[in-house]
């Protein structure tokens, strides 16, 4: 196991850590809910967040695969207890909400082995090793999987699908001004493509019928953006 030094903000909990409602003065609007009403603050941007950090004190490499690496991390919790965390390291990925002029979204249908089922998703893919231009990757995946190129490609949102065990982040883009140029799929990709109304996809999300995380986030973000007249 490799020792890791230099932990910042991972101090033992002395009983004043802000994980309990008594550790700060709440502003109450409902006597049954003691938590503070406030605007959104990103993670690690609140001064209280430092007391929530775990300190990584050691790591062991478990397995290296074609997509992910798995590490076992020994951590010291805010309470001073040592525990183990299994983490899947992932290079990250991209997804594209490709929106046609008549308000339809390009969706790919493909078999996913972990579920032993066909899933419905936006065109997407992982970043190649060392790849640092997610926009170029998004254009590549849109062309390869759906045969489309876009005049306009803009960042839409980002998704951390399972932060409890992986550092994967998927950056989602909105593509408009679409043209069909033909697909360029890998030999091991077997995909069908549909064009589905955005409003119908929102209903599918709310019904629990569309479950892929990047697709759910992308559909809802695109719908919200279109509602703003973008």
Judge if 81 and 107 occupy the same domain.
Answer: no
Judge if 29 and 82 occupy the same domain.
Answer: yes
Judge if 62 and 173 occupy the same domain.
Answer: no
Indicate if the pLDDT at residue 14 is higher than 80. no
pLDDT digits (tens, 9 = 90+) for 61-117: 999 998 999 999 999 999 999 999 999 999 999 999 999 999 999 999 999 999 999
Indicate if the pLDDT at residue 28 is higher than 60. no
Q: Final residue of a domain: which of 89, 118, 141?
A: 89
Among 8-22, 28-42, 115-129, the minimum mean pLDDT is found in: 8-22
Q: Final residue of a domain: which of 89, 119, 145?
A: 89
Provide the domain limits for residue 209: 93-227
For the chain, the domain total comes to 2
How would residue 15 be classed by pLDDT, with cut points 50, 70 and 90?
A: very low
Judge if 6 and 111 occupy the same domain.
Answer: no
* DSSP character string of the chain: -EE-----S-PPP-S--TTSGGGS----SSTT--SPP-----TT-SGGGGGGPPEEEEEEEEEE-SS-EEEEEEEE-TTS-EEEEEEEE---EEEEEEB-TTSEEEEEEEEEGGGTEEEEE-SEEEPPTT---HHHHHHHHHHHHH-EEEEEEEEEEEE-S-TTTB---EEEEEEEEEEE------TT---EEEEEEHHHHHHHHHTT----HHHHHHHHHHHHHHHTT-
Judge if 188 and 109 occupy the same domain.
Answer: yes
CA–CA distance from 93 to each of 3, 129, 161, 173 (Å)? 30, 11, 11, 11
Judge if 140 and 63 occupy the same domain.
Answer: no
In this prediction the pTM is: 0.85
Judge if 110 and 76 occupy the same domain.
Answer: no
Judge if 97 and 128 occupy the same domain.
Answer: yes
Q: Which residue in this structure is represented by tokens 């809910």?
A: 33
pLDDT digits (tens, 9 = 90+) for 118-171: 999 999 999 987 888 999 999 999 999 999 999 999 999 999 999 999 999 999
Judge if 106 and 65 occupy the same domain.
Answer: no
How would residue 8 be classed by pLDDT, with cut points 50, 70 and 90?
A: low
């Amino acid at each position: 196991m490799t020792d890791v030094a230099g932990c910042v903000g991972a101090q033992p909990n002395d009983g004043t850590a802000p994980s309990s409602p008594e550790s700060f003065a709440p502003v109450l609007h409902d006597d049954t809910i003691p938590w503070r009403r406030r605007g959104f603050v990103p993670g690690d941007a609140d001064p209280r967040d430092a007391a929530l950090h775990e300190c990584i004190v050691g790591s062991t490499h478990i397995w290296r695969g074609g997509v992910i690496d798995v590490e076992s991390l020994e951590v010291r919790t805010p309470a001073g207890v040592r525990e183990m965390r299994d983490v899947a390291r992932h290079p990250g990925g991209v997804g594209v909400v490709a929106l046609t002029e008549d308000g339809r979204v390009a969706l790919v249908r493909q078999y996913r082995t972990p579920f032993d089922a066909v899933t419905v998703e936006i065109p997407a893919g992982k970043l190649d090793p060392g790849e640092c231009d997610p926009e170029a990757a998004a254009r590549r995946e849109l062309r390869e999987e759906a045969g489309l190129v876009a005049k306009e490609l803009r960042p839409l949102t980002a998704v951390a699908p399972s932060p409890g065990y992986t550092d994967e982040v998927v950056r989602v883009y909105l593509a408009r001004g679409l043209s069909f140029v033909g697909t360029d799929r890998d030999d091991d990709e077997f995909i069908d493509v549909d064009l589905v109304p955005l409003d119908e996809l929102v209903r599918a999300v709310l019904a629990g019928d569309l479950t892929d995380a990047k697709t759910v986030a992308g559909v809802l973000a695109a719908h919200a953006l279109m509602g703003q007249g973008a």
